[in-house]
Structure 1
Amino acid sequence: MSLAEIPLCVWRTRSLSFTFRGQTIRYWTAGQGEPLLLIHGFPTASWDWHYLWTPLAQRYRVIACDMLGFGDSAKPVHHLYSLIEQADLQQALLEHLKVDQPVHLLAHDYGDSVSQELLARHHEGQANIASCVFLNGGLFPECHRALLIQKLLLSRLGWLVARSFGRDDLVRHVTQIYGPCTHPSESALDDYWSLVASNRGTRILHKLACYVPERALHRERWVAALQKEGVRLRFINGAVDPVSGAHMHERYRELVPNPDTVLLPGIGHYPHTEAPVQVLRHYLAFRQQALEPVAQKVAWS
């Protein structure tokens, strides 16, 4: 079984826009039913979900946006980018779409941290989250193994690294975090670069990279949100991801009560593009489970 790809050129024609704090945000929505908010990672955009988009839209009302500074959304140069503001953006998008029922989250990488903030707000009575599934991301900053490019972007010369960043740099750093047999095609890499470069995005890469220390700043509140009862969680993890792979999965099982996890051998940092069929299967199984908490378990696929 395979899932049909939505070419980036087609994906872009389906986008809509709304204004968030004076900036234009591109977003997508399809389907009917319970709202499912898809939150992408760094440094790409919501097109990352294109393999899963149609099958999920056949079951749910799926919603996704290119967050501020990403993809085809606005990328203001003189702006302080923050995961907290990105969570504000997600809530503003739901308000724009008049979503007033509990929202399910499916997140990856940078989006995991945005989801943790939304979970914290849920427990504080400021959001209404029904469930959350995480893909590879830095849920526990002490386990996150930053790439060299992230360290360079965070250095004093980060602005210079960002402005000189090119397609070859993207290819070099992205391919090293994929599984050994699941590398993206040249066409996909071209599309990733198109999304990064859109609206002169390389000028702000160093500013976006500040999410790494921001995770550490909010670590206690965000980990506490994972440990509280009331919202069903699952962690689907590509095991061979050098950034947040099996070691992050192990830490999740140490710290999260009754952990519901799935480990994907041979899969890297992007499970939803490397193994979309497996991710879809495990996500749908999660949604079909009874609402009662389940005993500790781990799945292998």
Structure 2
Amino acid sequence: MNVPRAEEWRRHGGYFSWRPAAEAASPVEIFHVEMGDSGAPVLLLIHGWPTSSIDWFDVAGQLSASFRVCALDFPGYGFSDKPPGWGYSLVRDEELIEFYLAEVIGAKAGAIVAHDRGDSVALIHAARCAEGRSATGLQHLVLTNGNIFLPLSNLTEAQRQALDAESWSQIAAAVTPSVLAEGMGASAFTPPRKAGDPEVEALTATFAYHDGINVLHEGIQYLVERSQDEQRWLTALASAPFPVMVIWGLYDTVSPLRVASYVWNEYLMLKPGGNRLYFIPDANHYLQADRPDALVKVLLDALEPADGRDPGALGPELGAPLLVDSSRARLPAAADLLHP
């Protein structure tokens, strides 16, 4: 591998072995990265499909000035093992998160920032924490661009083909690491990334590692899991005892803005506990690559105690990220707003 971005990320990390506790699955080697002071507040970054923890390349270092930043590659992704037929699932990945936080890094509590498929893993974990079934406390949950309400998603034709076994068998041979990376670069980033761009080269390298293309079809079955359980997860989220932040890149067409708006309005706007909704202009699905500085600015704001300030831009510059809304106990009557 001669891809500077991928090589640098891998140099930051290491491995641990993990095996699901209650199932007859073979152990897998899991790649993970830690940055920052070991005594600082824990911030776990969770990646999506079909990418890996390298998605956080441009923000992890900045965040490590304030947090103990941790990230891992789930089985089937990035620099972790990718055995075919292993039984990839959201539930298993949440079990891995539990193990990682409690046993690998020894965290008693922390915050989570999730993206794409990682949002689903984080929602399972959040429900466990809210029910008192986790060994690690959750202090904040941050959800970024992902299909957290499938009826309003805009799945691509490629995603639908990868989901269906028959369709996948017909196109699998044509899907190479570079084809997948270049397709994503052209559609999920703003501005679009081309062949030879650092992000595209890094994606190609991580897809090629351990023949990751071979398990794409297995990995995307998480959408089936999500379709069965997302209502339960969102209902649990609405009563969770910790703050929930939603941060969205506005140019996303796969997980469009209507997804974030719906979840906010239906489940979080009246939820107690200082929840917030942020938008990042000029950012696509991979907001952490398109506007890394803006995302860091929003995260530092979101992970501070709620201060009651009004919605608005987080800076005077054009394209500054926006605090769109903060939760409240109830909506006032229209007439109440007309009196001093």
Q: TM-score, normalised by structure 1?
A: 0.91
Q: Say which of 275, 289, 297 aligns to 2:305.
A: 289
Provide the C-alpha distance between the structure 1 equivalents of 2:309 and 2:242, rounded to a whole number of angstroms: 15
Determine which of 210, 226, 230 is the counterpart of 1:215.
226
Of 140, 145, 158, the residue aligned with 1:136 is 145
Question: Counterpart of 1:19?
Answer: 17
Distance 1:102 1:159 in 2: 43
Distance 2:152 2:267 in 1: 15
Give the counterpart of 1:86 among 89, 93, 101. 93
Give the superposition deviation at 1:111.
Answer: 0.7
Query: What runs of 5+ residues in structure 2 fail to find an aligned partner?
Result: 20-26, 270-274, 314-320, 323-340
Take 2:245 and 2:163, find their aligned partners in 1: how far apart are those partners?
Answer: 31
1:92-107 equivalence runs, <5 A: 92-107=99-114
Matched letter for residue 183 of structure 2: R
- Relative to the length of structure 2, the TM-score reads 0.81
Instruction: Quote the Cα distance in structure 1 between the aligned partners of 2:282 and 2:63.
Output: 24
Q: In the alignment, which of 266, 290, 303 is matched to residue 255 of structure 1? A: 266
| Deviation string, structure 1 residues 262-294 (Cα, Å, up to 9, x no partner) | 11223110111100011000100111234x8x6
- Per the TM alignment, residue 257 of structure 1 is displaced from its structure 2 partner at its CA by 2.8
Secondary structure in 2 matching 1:288: coil
Are the counterparts in 2 of residues 261 and 297 from structure 1 also a CA contact under 8 Å?
no
> Aligned in 2, Cα 1:186/1:222: closer, same or farther, shift over 3 Å?
same
Report the secondary structure of 1:250's partner residue: helix
Q: 2:180·2:204 contact (CA, 8 Å) conserved in 1?
A: no
Counterpart among 234, 257, 275 of residue 291 in structure 2: 275
CA-CA distance at 1:219 after TM superposition: 1.1
Distance 2:11 2:127 in 1: 34
Q: How much has 1:225 moved relative to structure 2? A: 2.5
Mapping 1:234-245, distance limit 5 Å: 234-245=245-256
- Is the contact between residue 37 and residue 103 of structure 1 (CA under 8 Å) also seen in structure 2? yes
The number of aligned residues is 293
- Which digits, 9 at most, give the CA deviation of each residue in 1:210-246, with x for residues without a partner? 0111111111221113211411111110112111121
Preserved CA contact (<8 Å) 2:42 2:107: no
Aligned residue in 2 for 1:145: 154
Aligned: 1:67 with 2:65: no
RMSD value, Cα: 2.0
Percent of pairs with identical residues? 25
